[in-house]
Amino acid sequence: MKNFIHGGDTVIVTAALPIKSGDGVLTGDLFGIAAHDADSAAAVTILTRGVYTLPKTGAQAWTVGAKIHWDAANGEATTATTSGGQDPVAHTFIGHAIEPAANPSASGVVRLSI
């Protein structure tokens, strides 16, 4: 097929801030996991598919199949769709929990959905 470019499992984006390998990276509404370290304004390859252990909002219990969103301000996964408060900020949907996560716990297992 002459219009095929690549499978899309990895995408190169520009890091908005310094990134470490394994960090969640949100560019617009595109979310992925950094494949390597990158300085701010440098190119970084992100993986947009797969299953990852991610930092999560500690005071949440996750069930298998729960919708998971990315809280960019705190750099963590959450079941909350917004930040709440006076001026709520929408969190970006990134996938589903595939293992239960206790309240409290620091991380959860997420299957990315694009």
What is the tens place of the pLDDT at every residue in 53-92?
Answer: 999 999 999 999 999 999 999 999 999 999 988 889 999 9
Side chain identity at 102, as an amino acid letter? A
Quick check: 107 and 54 in contact, CB under 8 A?
A: yes
| Per-residue pLDDT reduced to its tens digit, 4-33 | 999 999 999 999 999 999 999 999 999 999
Residue 30 corresponds to which amino acid? L
CB atoms within 10 A of CB 46: 24
Q: Name the residue ranges covered by the structural domains of the chain.
A: 1-49, 50-114
